[in-house]
Amino acid sequence: MLLKQASGRYAAIDVETTGFSPGRGDRIVEVGSAILEGGRIVDEFHSLVNPGRGISFQAQQVNGITDEMLAGQPKPENVFPELHRFIRGTVLVAHNAGFDLSFLRHEFGRLGLACNHRHACTLELSRLRYPRLRDHKLETVFRHVAGTTACVQQHRALADARMVAAI
C-alpha cells in the first residue's frame, strides 16, 4: 500500500477521454471511481459519457472506446453532478493524477461545480517508493503491490480505479 491509511474517505478515480488535452476541447467519455474506507472498497461509481464529440484515433487505441459505444449514453450534465456528489468529502487518488484531475476540473467547471479536493498520485508515489521497478505503469505497480501476475484489464475507467484502490 502506498498511502498510509488515515481515517477518512478516499476516492480512487480514473477517466478515459476523447484525446489528451481538455484545453484543446477533449472530453471525458468514461469515469470510474471506488470509495475506500479503512482500506476497503465500500462503493463504486461508473458511467460512460457521451460528450457530443468524436473520439480521436489515438485515444481509441488506448482505451478501446468508440463513438458507437457512446451512442445513447448519458450526457456530461447528467453524469458529473452525480459523480460530484459521489466523491464529496474524499481525498482523490489517481495514477497520473494531473491528467485525470485536469479533465475532472474541466468537466466540473463547465457545470459550475468545484473540484478542490486534496489528492494523491500513485504514479508519483510509486516512483518514490519503488524506484527499481522496470516501469511505473499502473499495471506494473498494481502487480508489484498486489503480488499477482494475473492478467488485468487496463484503460477502462472502473478497472483502473480498482487497481488504484488496491495500490
Query: pLDDT > 70: what percent of the chain?
Result: 96
Handedness of CA 36, 97, 78, 157 (dihedral sign): negative
Query: Would you say residue 115 has pLDDT above 70?
Result: yes
Phi, psi dihedral angles at 66 (to 5 degrees):
-110, 165
Strands annotated E in the chain: 9-17, 28-37, 40-48, 91-94, 119-121
Which of the four pLDDT bands, split at 50, 70 and 90, describes residue 153?
confident
Cβ(110)–Cβ(81) under 8 Å? no
Over residues 2-17, the pLDDT tens digits come to 555 455 899 999 999 9
Phi, psi dihedral angles at 136 (to 5 degrees):
-120, 30
Which of the four pLDDT bands, split at 50, 70 and 90, describes residue 22?
very high
The average pLDDT across 95-116 equals 97
CA 5 and chain centroid, separation: 19
Over residues 33-86, the pLDDT tens digits come to 999 999 999 999 999 999 999 999 999 999 999 999 999 999 999 999 999 999
